[in-house]
Chains A and B, each alone.
Chain A
Amino acid sequence: MRPSFFHHLHPPTIPAKQSRWRYTLGAGGTAVFLMLVLGATGILELFYYVPTPDQAAQSIQTISYLVPFGGLVRNIHFWAAQLLLIVAAVHLVRVVFTGSYAPPRRFNYLLGLALFVFAILLDFTGYILRWDEGIQWALVVGTNLIKTIPLIGNAFYVVLTGGTQPGLPTLIRFYAWHIFGLALIVIILGVWHAFRVRRDGGIAVPPPPLRVDKERITRNELVRREVLAMLLTGAALILFAAFVPAPIAQPISDITIMAGDARAPWFFLWVQQMLKWGDPFILGVLVPLIVLAVLALIPYIFPKPADGELGKWFPRSNRLAQIVLAVIALLVIILTIFGSLPAS
């Protein structure tokens, strides 16, 4: 048989220890599965969704309440998107806490980080597509933050929104990015990321002489586990989506002066919380970029984990990187909790 991309990603055997759930958490694979689910449900939504300010919210109501299984499709799309962010974050934490970003995997770590950022952008643009009272302040605040960037802020704002305030061109642009631009970038980065995993020698393990546990599993066993994970995730997703609806609100109308939730989408609550403290450019743009830069630099500034310590959790030789990530994660979680509390 000719080797295919599938075989490229599934070598005949792989080390047993590093293919256990408790080692990988199955997070990378689950993220791939969720992206496929998002693609499929997103394409289905395209048949009913109308990307104009007058009709967007109405068309989502049509999908949610009238189209047979439309509510299920929309809910799966929504929940898969939220789960994707969580799973991708877990995957990132796993990679850092196991020191698997060490050379030769530095570049692939950056690819993965870029995928995470684009998943956030996809989630935000998708959220805006609702164009109802639930999203308007997130849109206003999010785009006005761009304006606070010195020198290029105003021009960049127009490029992003297509005008001097949110309107029809803004929705069209977010729509184009969501269903095509960002989706395409994620597909390219995703395939590249998967390809690099194998090129870099699969999941990180100690070099053969230092390997204690020499047991291996076969390609079939790996596929069996992957299918099991997909089935479980898929079933959980369908069940959850069947009972917990995605948020929805009144269409935006000019009559109500202040309507809807002023809260950011959950993954930006930490930024919203910081914005309460002062300068919007520093706290809303610079600090998140610095966090991103620190994450990107982890493989470059911290000592490489010892070869013998690869392929296990919390190698002693990269404690510092683990601590840095843990502190960042903790701060983001604490800020998110504060941000989700009702206004004082």
Chain B
Amino acid sequence: MSDLTRRDFLKLTTTALLTISGALGVGALFRFLDFQTEPPVKTEFDLGPAVNYPIGSRSLVPDVPALLIHNQNGFSALSLVCTHLGCTVEQKDSGFECPCHGSRYDANGKVLRGPAQKALRALRVEVNSTGNLILHTD
């Protein structure tokens, strides 16, 4: 083996080792930062007695945020989180409009105008044994 190839070999080994350690370090850093300290986000909201929401009512539930609708077909709820990039939509002429990039939805949450592609999410609502309304966001 000539001197040069031996030197090349050492150089290659050094580079390889450095690259591997670097990659491992970045991987470890990523995992370190990937840890979540907060408990998982709440997905169940107790809205109180169902009788507080008479037929024909449309009530805002700000901390979800959602709109609770009670009509002849029973309770239903629409998420007010814009499906584009997550701003909260505002109620506007019987439908909804997003202040961030202007998406529009009709009263049922269907997209009228982009950039949003998907309809507002329908959320599950149920009445529990004590007569309270429970809203699920998952």
Q: Which residues of A contact B118 (CB under 8 A)?
A: none
Q: Which residues of A contact B63 (CB under 8 A)?
A: 254
Q: Which of B35, B80, B86, B90 contacts A141 (CB 8 A)?
A: B86
B34 near A158: Cβ-Cβ < 8 Å: yes
A275 near B115: Cβ-Cβ < 8 Å: yes
Cβ of A164 under 8 Å from chain B: yes
Q: Which of A162, A257, A272 contacts B101 (CB 8 A)?
A: A272
Q: Which residues of B contact A155 (CB under 8 A)?
A: 30, 34
Q: How far is the CB of A124 from chain B (nearest CB, A)?
A: 16
Cβ of A8 under 8 Å from chain B: no
A262 near B100: Cβ-Cβ < 8 Å: yes
A277: nearest chain-B partner, CB-CB? B115
Cβ of B54 under 8 Å from chain A: no
Q: Please, how many angstroms separate the alpha-carbon atoms of A258 and B99 in the complex?
A: 9
Q: Which residues of A contact B37 (CB under 8 A)?
A: 162-163, 168-169
Of B40, B60, B63, B84, chain A has the most CB atoms within 10 Å of the CB of B84
Q: Which of B35, B36, B90, B114 contacts A258 (CB 8 A)?
A: B90
Cβ of B76 under 8 Å from chain A: no
23 contacts between A and B (CB under 8 A): A141-B85, A141-B100, A144-B86, A145-B85, A158-B33, A162-B33, A162-B37, A164-B36, A169-B36, A254-B62, A254-B63, A255-B62, A257-B65, A257-B80, A258-B88, A258-B99, A275-B84, A275-B85, A275-B100, A278-B114, A280-B85, A343-B99, A344-B102
Q: Please, how many angstroms separate the alpha-carbon atoms of A158 and B31 in the complex?
A: 10
Cβ of B107 under 8 Å from chain A: no
Q: Which residues of B contact A163 (CB under 8 A)?
A: 36-38, 41
Task: Please report A residues at the B interface, Cβ cutoff 8 Å.
Answer: 137, 140-141, 144-145, 148, 155, 158-159, 162-165, 167-169, 254-258, 262, 272, 275-280, 284, 343-344
A276 near B115: Cβ-Cβ < 8 Å: yes
Cβ of B24 under 8 Å from chain A: no
Task: Please report B residues at the A interface, Cβ cutoff 8 Å.
Answer: 30, 33-38, 40-41, 60, 62-63, 65, 80, 84-90, 99-102, 114-115
Q: Please, how many angstroms separate the alpha-carbon atoms of A164 and B41 in the complex?
A: 8
A170: nearest chain-B partner, CB-CB? B38
Q: Please, how many angstroms separate the alpha-carbon atoms of A135 and B114 in the complex?
A: 23
Known contacts A140-B87, A257-B65, A275-B115; 12 additional CB pairs below 8 A are: A141-B100, A155-B30, A159-B33, A165-B41, A169-B36, A169-B38, A257-B80, A258-B88, A258-B89, A275-B85, A280-B85, A344-B102
Q: How far is the CB of A224 from chain B (nearest CB, A)?
A: 46
B60: nearest chain-A partner, CB-CB? A257
Q: How far is the CB of A128 from chain B (nearest CB, A)?
A: 15
6 closest A-B pairs by beta carbon, nearest first, are: A262-B99, A159-B33, A257-B62, A276-B101, A144-B85, A144-B86
Q: How far is the CB of A340 from chain B (nearest CB, A)?
A: 14
B30: nearest chain-A partner, CB-CB? A159
Q: How far is the CB of B34 from chain A (nearest CB, A)?
A: 5
A140 near B86: Cβ-Cβ < 8 Å: yes
Q: Please, how many angstroms separate the alpha-carbon atoms of A272 and B115 in the complex?
A: 12
Q: Which residues of B contact A168 (CB under 8 A)?
A: 37-38
Q: Please, how many angstroms separate the alpha-carbon atoms of A258 and B38 in the complex?
A: 24
A142: nearest chain-B partner, CB-CB? B85
Q: How far is the CB of B65 from chain A (nearest CB, A)?
A: 5
Q: How far is the CB of A265 from chain B (nearest CB, A)?
A: 13
B32: nearest chain-A partner, CB-CB? A159
Q: Please, how many angstroms separate the alpha-carbon atoms of A255 and B99 in the complex?
A: 18
B89: nearest chain-A partner, CB-CB? A258
- A140-B85 in contact given A167-B38, A275-B115, A276-B115 (Cβ < 8 Å): yes
Q: How far is the CB of B41 from chain A (nearest CB, A)?
A: 6
Q: Please, how many angstroms separate the alpha-carbon atoms of A164 and B36 in the complex?
A: 8
Q: Which residues of B contact A159 (CB under 8 A)?
A: 30, 33-34
B87 near A280: Cβ-Cβ < 8 Å: no
A141 near B87: Cβ-Cβ < 8 Å: yes
Q: Please, how many angstroms separate the alpha-carbon atoms of A257 and B80 in the complex?
A: 9
A257 near B36: Cβ-Cβ < 8 Å: no
Q: How far is the CB of B26 from chain A (nearest CB, A)?
A: 11
Q: How far is the CB of A22 from chain B (nearest CB, A)?
A: 41
Q: How far is the CB of B45 from chain A (nearest CB, A)?
A: 12
- A280-B115 in contact given A137-B99, A169-B38, A258-B90 (Cβ < 8 Å): yes
Q: Which residues of B contact A256 (CB under 8 A)?
A: 62
Q: How far is the CB of B95 from chain A (nearest CB, A)?
A: 15
A168: nearest chain-B partner, CB-CB? B38
